[in-house]
Structure 1
Amino acid sequence: MSKFGKIETGKKYTESYKVFITEGNKIISPFHNINLYSESAKDVVRVVNEIPRFENAKFEINKSENLNCIMQDTKKGKMRFVGNVYPFKGYLWNYGALPQTWEDKDEVCSFTNCKGDNDPLDVVEIGTRRKSIGEVYEAKVLGCLALIDDGECDWKIIVIDTKDEKASVLNDIQDVENVFPGLIKDTFTWFRVYKIPDGKPENVFGLNSEIQNKEFALKIIQGAHASWKKLIDQKHVKEINYSEPIEIGEIEAYQGEDDIPTKVYEYYFMNQ
């Protein structure tokens, strides 16, 4: 795999914070310029990590920014953090995206009868190491689930880093329960309730709230990759930035971290 790097600029937990992905002496787009599929195996894909495990800040590839840098999402003018629904702390796993995939906002998914969420496919990485923002790695596909978020189809692809110490014993979704008992159940719970602290209702799932295996997940990935190819060919979605890689030049320095609001650390109890 090519050697990818990253450049952090601005102050973390503020709107100035940006993470650019690099390859060689160029800044590239994590959305468009990283090959989705690995050359090593048909069930191995490349992943861009956006949110480290246990992090509360909602970092994501910004579709409209130049070179699709990773930034923290905002909501009503404020930096967005997910709440801690007891007993969870922040994100339950490393959370990221598959490059060169896109969930078509105009196409109705045949499995969920919902249109796509206009984003790259989301990734849940269940390995043993906490990853950093902007880390690019290769992962084995294990399965997926179909989240319906605000009426949109939002697939979650479950993977494990190929270099993880548990990767050799995880080859399909049925292996996860043996290695990490309860994790699949807690994953469904987390996605169902994580927006409740923000005053939103519980999320729901397609496919009878059932986890899907590797073969199914690979088909979802294949379809989203085809949608991305159409997106690149037509460039018909105005809010998406399609800029080409550029040479690394002078970039604003990283300025450390801003203070996180104390409320972010509080637990939300479901019966309150």
Structure 2
Amino acid sequence: MCLLRMNSLISKSRSMERLKQTLSILSARNCRQFNTIQQGSKYSPSFKKYLTLQNGEVGSFFHDVPLDLDEREKTVTMIVEVPRWTTGKFEISKELKFNPIIQDRKNGKLRFVNNIFPYHGYIHNYGAIPQTWEDPTIEHELGDGDAALKGDNDPLDCCEIGSDVLEMGTIRKVKVLGSLALIDDGELDWKIIVIDINDPLSSELNNLENVEKYFPGILGATREWFRKYKVPAGKSLNKFAYGEQYMDSNSTIHTIKECHNSWQKFLSGSLQNKYDSLPNTERAGKGVTLEDSGKPPSQIPPEVQKWYYI
């Protein structure tokens, strides 16, 4: 009995040490503490890109990467899901353990965005803000004349407008510039406009007026792209709240804080009986590791290259 108790204490001690090590890594707030591994072939159902920590264990893009919001500098963390000019609809999985980046599927078929003239694929480096969640269990009050809408059950989306094409799975500190309230299939789906702080023009951008000056046309093009991007798939034009106007950086910071609070509430488990499809909450701290088993990309279906005029 003494030997069994001793082994149990040793096992618990090791688990505590592993958890302390994991928490230390996560609290460092340094993107270089993170890496990624791949399983399967890009553009195939087998593809998964996982977050890994410095100690080698698997973490969650959704839950383990710090938000790291700096209200004075108006900076936050972004996870890149889709590099600019590409067409594969990749996103952080809500269903799978550890929330890897996968290619979205609909009716069993991998999803690609259509090319809308004059654009090819996504016109931004597209991604998500970790540790945020658009709450689908409550109705969010919007502008005058707008009906209250529920959140889309996803992390906040962000559109990075800098000059570099960013790699899928990279974690960047970005400056918050404004936001657009997309109404997608009757749900609120915020699009946060950001720029990588390492971009040469980042220091010149502090508000939407600066964006118009240094990136003329990008805000209008962003609105039109989100308005039309589903039309080739047979859907109607998307709509926007707040009279289709962009919210400024201060209002956007408020939205980010609200969605971070919603994430904390959801992670606490208090919403389990209020919504049937809450995201998976598995995260680092249990010492789970995976081998990199990535394969060369699969061929993109030729019909994805078609151009649509809308």
TM-score calculated relative to the size of structure 2: 0.84
Q: Is the 8 A contact 1:49 1:132 kept in 2?
A: yes
Task: From 36, 43, 57, give the equivalent of 2:67.
Answer: 36
Aligned to 1:68, the other structure's residue is in SS state: coil
- Equivalence for 1:255: 295
Q: Is the 8 A contact 1:174 1:213 kept in 2?
A: no
Q: Does 1:45 align with 2:76?
A: yes
C-alpha RMSD of matched pairs (Å)? 1.5
Instruction: Give the number of aligned pairs.
Output: 270
- Equivalence for 2:132: 101
CA distance in structure 2 between the aligned counterparts of 1:46 and 1:178, rounded to whole angstroms: 25
Cα shift at 1:201: 0.4
Residues 151-187 of structure 1, C-alpha deviation per residue, up to 9 Å, x if partnerless?
A: 0000001100111111010111211010110000000
Aligned to 1:103, the other structure's residue is in SS state: coil
Cα shift at 1:247: 3.6
Aligned to 2:127, the other structure's residue is in SS state: strand
Segments of 5+ residues of structure 2 without an aligned counterpart are 1-28
Q: Does 1:56 align with 2:87?
A: yes
Residues 64-102 of structure 1, C-alpha deviation per residue, up to 9 Å, x if partnerless?
A: 101000000001111100000111100000000000000
- Equivalence for 1:202: 237
The letter of the residue matching 1:244 is R
CA distance in structure 1 between the aligned counterparts of 2:59 and 2:276, rounded to whole angstroms: 20
CA distance in structure 2 between the aligned counterparts of 1:233 and 1:45, rounded to whole angstroms: 22
How does 1:101-120 map onto structure 2 within 5 Å?
101-111=132-142, 112=146, 113-120=148-155
Cα shift at 1:251: 2.0
How does 1:147-158 map onto structure 2 within 5 Å?
147-158=182-193
Structure of greater Rg = 2
Task: From 131, 142, 148, give the equivalent of 2:166.
Answer: 131
CA distance in structure 2 between the aligned counterparts of 1:157 and 1:229, rounded to whole angstroms: 20
Question: Structure 1 residues 230, 116: closer, same or farther in 2, change over 3 A?
Answer: same
Aligned to 1:95, the other structure's residue is in SS state: strand
Q: Does 1:221 align with 2:251?
A: no
Task: From 235, 243, 251, give the equivalent of 2:282.
Answer: 243
Aligned to 1:67, the other structure's residue is in SS state: coil
CA distance in structure 2 between the aligned counterparts of 1:148 and 1:55, rounded to whole angstroms: 23
Aligned to 2:289, the other structure's residue is in SS state: coil
Question: Structure 1 residues 214, 250: closer, same or farther in 2, change over 3 A?
Answer: closer
CA distance in structure 2 between the aligned counterparts of 1:165 and 1:27, rounded to whole angstroms: 33
CA distance in structure 2 between the aligned counterparts of 1:174 and 1:247, rounded to whole angstroms: 47
Aligned to 2:255, the other structure's residue is in SS state: helix
The letter of the residue matching 2:300 is I
With 67-76 and 242-251 compared, the bigger mean Cα shift is at 242-251
Q: Does 1:90 align with 2:125?
A: no
Segments of 5+ residues of structure 1 without an aligned counterpart are none
Task: From 153, 177, 189, give the equivalent of 2:224.
Answer: 189
The letter of the residue matching 1:5 is N
